[in-house]
Structure 1
Amino acid sequence: MDHAKLKWIYLSLLSIIWGSSFILIEQAIKGLDFVQVGALRICVTAVFLFPIGLKKVKAIQRSQWKWIFWTAMAGSLFPVFLFALAQEQLDSAVTSMLNSLTPLNTIVFGSLLFGVAVSKRQIYGVLIGLIGALVLIIAGANFNESQNYWYSAFVFLATIGYGLNVNIIKKYLNDVNAMAIVTGNFVIIIIPAFIILAFTGFFNDILKNEAMQVALGYVVVLSLFGTAIAKVIYSRLVQISSPVFASSVTYTMPIVAIFWGILAGEKLSFYQILGGFVILLGVYLVNKRKKKA
């Protein structure tokens, strides 16, 4: 299948997987604290990845490992803790909407640090998509006045990391196997994550705490689909498309997250629906090709 069609398939799959991951995090923090959720997510993901991906890691050249390190920090280690922390105060749909800042940070840092050329259409598309996300956030806030929106700063920091991550992969690791990149990330962060998890007392409490056991089940599902499988797909999507196109998945994820929110009993207003359509318009403009003369 040619890349033009394949990238849209990848984008759709990631929208479903990552759009569902926020509700899984929300359920996980009912039995675990945010540190345990973040560290456990890394450890479980490594268990899934290593049997398949360790042989791929051998293909990574010594000079590329410094970029693998930075993608591990920016795209894997810090975001898993930041999102879990944010969702201690924000519901899953709102967190997903705030995650729509990723394309904006991708363009900003791509232009400032990586010399990526950005067209006016892409800038307009990102801004329109961002407006749609803000409409969703404001409309959602009317139904969730008890939430602490200062915690949105943690999501913003995570989106900066994602913006850096996607640009590093595109510029310095574009010829590296996607599975090798993701597995290399977890080779770097598995040991610190395991140490952090051990210090939380997780291994002492898990066998006698039923709530933790239920939460562990959610983390396992989240790690397999939302981290292991999704990160491989995402790395490949970055390689066959552009950083802006790949990061635009954060515009379609809130639609899936809102769907899960409705099933969980959250309210959906007309303005949230309107915001969803504005987001899709932004995605279209970001990825619309310039007509040939």
Structure 2
Amino acid sequence: MDNSKLKYVYLVILSLIWGSSFILIKKGLGEENGVLVLQPLQLGAVRTMISGTILIAIGWRSFAATSKKDWPWLALSGLLGTFFPAFLFAYAQTEIDSAISAILNSTVPLITLIMGALIFGISFSKKQLLGVIIGLAGAIGLVLAGMESHPEQNYLFAGLVLIACACYASNVNIIKRYLQNIKPLAIATGNFVFIAPLATIVFFSADGASIDYTSPKVQESFMYIFVLCLFGTVAAKIMFNKLVQMTSPVFASSVTYLMPVIGLTWGTMDGEFFNIWQGVATAVIIFAVVLVTREKKKI
């Protein structure tokens, strides 16, 4: 299959995988008698450690073949593309629904465009600029609607999702500009070579050694985390790195097209409430993403 068709296959698969990641994070945190089974720092660290173990086992030779001059960019890519977002999303979902996280994550293409223009010197069109403005308005509307319908939730934590989105956007531009000629598996493995030791430090600093691993609830949480690692991190990161190299940063980040739909479906099935104004705000965000990713004429 040629790249012009393969890129859409990757886009759909990644949307399905990452759209399911938010409910897996929620289930990974777990809850027993109103108390979280795992703390956000523990979940983020475990997710990184397990994913790192798998990737280093299968991709060490690929990473070893990379040049040392690329290692700083691989490390930065790992921090921005995986390490910080893993903790930010975990903390965010202690206060807001998984479906809301999925919707806010769809702002990645908008943030990618902004950062690409301001930091990496990538040009953009008037229609794309309009899309960015509309998308940001939709994101604000989504948060305000959520605050009204879910007064028990702290929607200031939605800011953590937007910070994670900025990390993702930075990572996409870094891969495209500085890691274009490195194999996708080598990029993914290199990321974890540098961040897995940091995650281990965080894990033990967050009392990871005191977790009761014999508890059925803890074992259930680890089951969800393992699924998240295997598909949402390991397989998805390799595919996403390939997609970035095949296309543009904005196209690759448009993987968020279908993610809100998948995230909303899982959230609704899990009993999360979603009102009509949140639906309107979601439609506004998706429309903005379409404007940003479809425009090809430059100014």
Quick check: 1:245–1:286 contact (8 Å CA) kept in 2?
Answer: no
Quote how far apart the aligned CAs of 1:51 are. Answer: 2.1
Q: CA deviation at 1:9?
A: 1.5
Match of 2:211 in 1: 205
* Counterpart pick for 2:267 among 253, 261, 264: 261
**Partner SS for 1:146:** coil
Q: Given the alignment of the two structures, is residue 76 of structure 1 paired with residue 82 of structure 2, yes or no?
A: yes
Change in 2 beyond 3 A, CA 1:280/1:5: farther
Aligned equivalents of 1:267, 1:204: Cα separation in 2: 34
Match of 2:237 in 1: 231
Deviations 1:139-172 (A, max 9, x none): 4444322110111221122112111111100001
Match of 2:58 in 1: 52
Say whether residues 1:216 and 2:226 are aligned partners: no
- Normalization by structure 2: what TM-score? 0.89
Tell me how far apart the structure 1 counterparts of residues 147 and 260 of structure 2 sit (CA, whole Å): 15
Superposed displacement of residue 200, structure 1: 2.8
Q: Distance in 1 between matches of 2:142 and 2:40?
A: 25
Deviation string 1:71-112 (CA, Å, 9 cap, x unpaired) is 011111111011101111111011122223322221122112
Is 1:167–2:176 an aligned residue pair?
Answer: no
Task: Give the Cα separation in 2 of the matches to 1:172 and 1:156.
Answer: 24
What one-letter code is carried by the residue in structure 1 that aligns with 2:261? I
Q: Cα deviations across residues 31-55 of structure 1 (Å, max 9, x unaligned)?
A: 1000000000001101221222111
> What fraction of aligned residue pairs are identical, expressed as a percent?
43
Give unpaired runs (5+ residues) of structure 2: 31-36
Return the TM-score normalized by structure 1: 0.91
Mean CA deviation greater in 131-140 or 247-256: 131-140
| Pairing 1:1-293 to 2, within 5 Å after superposition | 1-30=1-30, 31-288=37-294, 290=296
Are the aligned partners of 1:234 and 1:246 in contact in 2 as well (CA < 8 Å)?
Answer: yes
The Cα of 1:130 is off from its aligned counterpart by: 4.2
Structure 1, unaligned runs of 5 or more: none
The one-character-per-residue Cα deviations of 1:194-248 (angstroms, maximum 9, x if unpaired) are 1221233323433333322211111111111111111111111111111111112
What are the superposed Cα offsets for residues 56-82 of structure 1, whole Å, 9 maximum, x if unpaired? 102311111111111011111111011
**CA, structure 1 residues 253+127, in 2 after alignment: closer, same or farther (shift >3 Å)?**
farther
- Judge which range, 247-256 or 178-187, deviates more: 247-256
Question: Closer, same or farther in 2 for the Cα pair 1:133/1:16, shift >3 Å?
Answer: farther
| Aligned residues of 1:252 and 1:280 also touching (Cα < 8 A) | no
Equivalent-residue separation in structure 1 for 2:114 and 2:163 (angstroms): 14
Aligned to 1:266, what secondary structure does the other structure show?
Answer: coil
Cα shift at 1:137: 4.2
